Amino acid sequence: MKPLEINEFKGYKTVNYNEKLKVNRAFFSSVKDFNGKLSESHFSLKFPITGVENYSVDNKRYKLDKLSYIVTNASQHITADVKSKNPVLGICIGFSEEFMFNLAGSYNQKLEEGLENPFNNKTPISFITKKSRICNDKLSSIVSAIKNDVLCNNIKDNYEEEQFYITLGELLIEQQQKIYSDIKRLPQAKFSTREEIYRRVSVINDFICDNYKNDISIEQLSRLSALSKYHAIRCYQKINKISPYQKIQKLRLEEAKQLILSGMSVAEAANEVNFTDYRTLSKLFKKHYGLTPSELKNIHKQ
């Protein structure tokens, strides 16, 4: 059993490995000024701990803050750009192609098949590269825990190396399978078209998650995604199974529930999450959760 090691990357102007990464490797970076090409030899999960990191992946630009992360493939053209008065802290976790192909093969393999042929089941995979928000899923929980453990210098105490890469790799594969499943819901013929629409709809979803307490218009979402408002609504609903309006309501209700349980009045919670008044909140709350805010409070007092 070997504790996880994280290598320090100090921001050399160019990082370009000619040889493919044969092993999994994680890097911690602390840079104020960096602009250069990154390794294209492995799958990777990248996320800032503090500050902002700018990436270009196959000529598509992504701006990451401490609430976001990105997944990249081997053989993609990746550059990074950081300019800050204070050090920007970040993590890059690299997975070798061989490791991810073997992991993907075993992840989709039935146990009986694994008993008969345990060492020869590689499955070539390709990730959909997109900016993702830290939310309440398993992958986000691990990313948040890694950030905290790096800052507290607890990495070697809390992670065994092989188990770390297997667990994280399987969560990435699971996430990507869901993304491919979501993309298949779109009716467009070409996969490349569906992939691009998925990325644009993801921009809408991220914006809603960051701004649901504010007033959001369909016109705003249309401009953000560079889709007509009709296509924006239709495609969002195809992928997420609810409309943008329903997503906003759902997020507001979830926060209102937590605020009410923490002792806030219904009127205060309604104002905090931008419902028109407490009556509107109570009505929607009853419809969504099957009980009123007052009934919820009484249950948790018992």
pLDDT in tens, 230-265: 999 999 999 999 999 999 999 999 999 999 999 889
Name the one residue in this structure whose structure tokens are 């009127």: 267
- Same domain? For 123 and 223 the reply is no
Whether residue 78 is found in the same domain as residue 225: no
* Residues 176, 109 within the same domain: yes
pLDDT average, residue stretch 178-189: 88
Q: Of 154, 180, 206, which residue constitutes the final position of a domain?
A: 180
Residue 13: pLDDT over 60: no
Does 141 share its domain with 214? no
| Residues 212 and 123 placed together within one structural domain of the fold | no
47-83 residue pLDDT tens? 999 999 999 999 999 999 999 999 999 889 999 999 9
Compute the distance between CA of residue 10 and CA of residue 31 in angstroms, rounded to an integer.
6
Identify whether residues 275 and 143 lie together within a single domain: no
| Residue 92 bridge partners (DSSP) | 27, 46
| Residues 72, 46: Cα–Cα separation, whole Å | 8
Q: How far apart are CA 275 and CA 252, in angstroms?
A: 8
Task: With respect to residue 84, please indicate whether it lies within any of the assigned structural domains.
Answer: yes
Q: What is the mean pLDDT of residues 113-138?
A: 73
Is 25 inside any structural domain?
A: yes
Whether residue 1 is contained in a domain is answered as: no
Longest dimension (CA), the chain: 64
pLDDT of residue 15: 45
**Would residue 150 count as lying in a domain?**
yes
Size of the chain, expressed as the number of residues it contains: 302
Q: Are residues 158 and 63 in the same domain?
A: yes
Residue type, 265: S
The count of other CB atoms within 10 Å of the CB of residue 230 is 10
- CA separation for the pair 69, 93 (Å, rounded): 11
Q: Between helices 229-240 and 161-184, what is the axis angle to 10°?
A: 130
The verdict on residue 72 lying in a domain is yes
pLDDT of residue 118: 45
Do 119 and 209 sit in the same domain of this protein?
no
> pLDDT for 136-156, tens place per residue?
889 999 999 999 999 998 888
The mean of the pLDDT values for the chain is: 87
Q: For the segment 67-76, what is each residue's pLDDT rounded down to a tens digit?
A: 999 999 988 9
Residues 110 and 231 placed together within one structural domain of the fold: no
Q: Is the pLDDT of residue 19 over 60?
A: no
Taking the whole predicted model, whether its pTM rises above 0.85 is answered as no
CATH label of the domain that carries residue 289: 1.10.10.60
Tell whether the model's pLDDT for residue 168 goes beyond 50.
yes
| CATH code: domain of residue 158 | 2.60.120.810
Output phi, psi for 133, to 5 deg: -95, 145
Count how many Cα atoms sit within 13 Å of the Cα of residue 99 in the half-sphere of its side chain. Answer: 26
Q: 121 pLDDT band (50/70/90 cuts)?
A: low
Do 88 and 52 belong to one domain?
yes
Q: Which residue has the tokens 């992991």?
A: 103
List the domain range (segments joined by +) for residue 231: 185-241
Domain-terminating residue out of 180, 196, 219? 180
